[in-house]
């Protein structure tokens, strides 16, 4: 299968810290959804930073390995160039502009689009998330958490990226809203052919929507396979889904959502 993103043997360190990623390999096949799962501090965000060219902003550096987009090495490329190559991300914490209204936030994501395309893409985002259209003139800071996440996704998707990276989509959101947003991502994949790497602490939801999954522990890939294989592994059942006997799943999710 053709891959859009290929990470091979990647190691990353931060100033005054040992390695945050060690020999990490991962690939995203074209048009598919891949989940990267792991506990808090495992190295998920670090991987996203390395792929999106934002490591140096956080005083991190690649110490080994390679990152290829469409077979081309992209390591060391600045973030804005990667955006032009078709990459978009929804960062951890969403980072929308709270004082700007919804439509102006979306305009930020459309900055690189040719003028003639903006209206059509804006309408496509509104079709995906009608709530954003209803609230288009409202300051983003007044939106609910779920709506803010839709806005962050809309801002990334308005440019029709070929590769979308989403960091902790479900964090702090009610399960029903998370489910609804993921369903729209499936629509995006079907209609735009967008490939996605989704980072989640919430293994249950990610495994429901992803085709393949990787589990990262203390900077290393501990397990990978199809979503079914990973979901039925002992590691995932014990560490990430919680044992049904000990703790109801909903409690596990709420606990994680609050960290
Ligand atoms: N800017 C930074 N400087 C130093 N250490 C960092 C920095 N960002 C993250 N780390 C460390 O790197 C490790 C991985 O962090 P991170 O990638 O944020 O994990 P995750 O996203 O899985 O929660 C953690 O030990 C964290 O403390
Ligand atoms: Mg993180």
Least confident range from 83-92, 121-130, 191-200, 249-258: namely 249-258
> Residue 243: which pLDDT band, with cuts at 50, 70 and 90?
very low
Q: Is the dihedral of CA 132, 135, 139, 144 positive or negative?
A: negative
CA of 205 to the centre of ligand 1 (A): 23
For the Cβ of 40 lying below 6 angstroms from any atom of ligand 1, the answer is yes
Same domain? 57 vs 175:
yes
Please name which ligand lies nearest the alpha carbon of 47: 1
Is residue 224's pLDDT more than 90? Answer: yes
3-class secondary structure, 27: strand
Given a contact cutoff of 8 angstroms between Cβ atoms, the answer to whether 51 and 5 are in contact is: yes
Same domain? 67 vs 171:
yes
CA atoms within 13 A on the CB side of 236: 26
pTM beyond cutoff 0.75: yes
Q: How many helices (H) and strands (E) does the chain have?
A: 11, 10
pLDDT tens for 131-165 read: 999 999 999 999 999 999 999 999 999 999 999 99
The residue to mutate among 19, 22, 46, having the most atoms of ligand 1 within 8 angstroms of its beta carbon, is 46
Mean pLDDT, all residues of the chain? 91
Last residue in a domain, options 126, 160, 194: 160
The residue to mutate among 11, 14, 93, having the most atoms of ligand 1 within 8 angstroms of its beta carbon, is 14
Average pLDDT over residues 92-108: 92
Same domain? 51 vs 68:
yes
For the Cβ of 17 lying below 6 angstroms from any atom of ligand 1, the answer is yes
3-class secondary structure, 174: coil
Last residue in a domain, options 113, 138, 160: 160
> Taking the C-alpha atoms of 244, 247, 248 and 254 in order, what is their torsion angle to the nearest 10 degrees?
-140
Same domain? 72 vs 177:
yes
Same domain? 8 vs 82:
yes
**Domain extent at residue 118:** 95-160
Same domain? 137 vs 208:
no
Please name which ligand lies nearest the alpha carbon of 18: 1
Q: What is the pLDDT of residue 174?
A: 94
Same domain? 155 vs 180:
no
Residue 241 to residue 243: CA distance in whole angstroms: 7
Is residue 256's pLDDT more than 60? Answer: no
CA of 144 to the centre of ligand 2 (A): 21
> Residue 242: which pLDDT band, with cuts at 50, 70 and 90?
low
Report the CATH number that the domain containing residue 201 is assigned in CATH. Answer: 3.40.50.300
Same domain? 114 vs 132:
yes
Count structural domains, the chain: 2
């Amino acid at each position: 299968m053709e891959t859009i993103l290929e990470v091979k043997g990647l190691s990353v360190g931060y100033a005054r810290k040992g390695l945050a990623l060690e020999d990490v390999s991962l690939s995203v096949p074209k048009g598919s959804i891949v989940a990267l799962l792991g506990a808090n501090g495992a190295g998920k965000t670090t991987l996203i930073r390395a792929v999106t060219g934002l490591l140096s902003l956080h005083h991190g550096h690649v110490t080994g390995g390679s990152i290829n987009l469409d077979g081309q090495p992209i390591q060391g490329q600045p973030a804005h160039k990667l955006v032009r190559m078709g990459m978009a991300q929804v960062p951890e914490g969403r980072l929308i502009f709270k004082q700007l209204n919804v439509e102006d936030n979306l305009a930020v994501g459309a900055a690189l689009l040719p003028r003639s395309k903006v209206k059509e893409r804006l309408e496509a985002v509104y079709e995906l998330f009608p709530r954003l259209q209803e609230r288009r003139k409202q300051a983003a800071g007044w939106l609910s958490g779920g709506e803010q996440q839709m806005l962050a996704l809309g801002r990334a998707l308005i440019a029709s990226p070929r590769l979308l990276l989403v960091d902790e989509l479900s964090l702090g959101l009610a399960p029903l809203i998370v489910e609804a947003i993921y369903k729209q991502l499936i629509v995006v994949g079907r209609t735009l052919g967008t490939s996605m790497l989704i980072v989640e602490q919430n293994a249950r939801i990610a495994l429901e929507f992803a085709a393949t999954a990787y589990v990262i522990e203390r900077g290393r890939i501990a397990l990978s396979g199809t979503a079914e294989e990973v979901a039925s592994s002992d590691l995932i059942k014990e560490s990430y889904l919680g044992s049904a006997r000990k703790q109801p799943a909903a409690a596990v999710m709420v606990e994680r959502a609050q960290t």
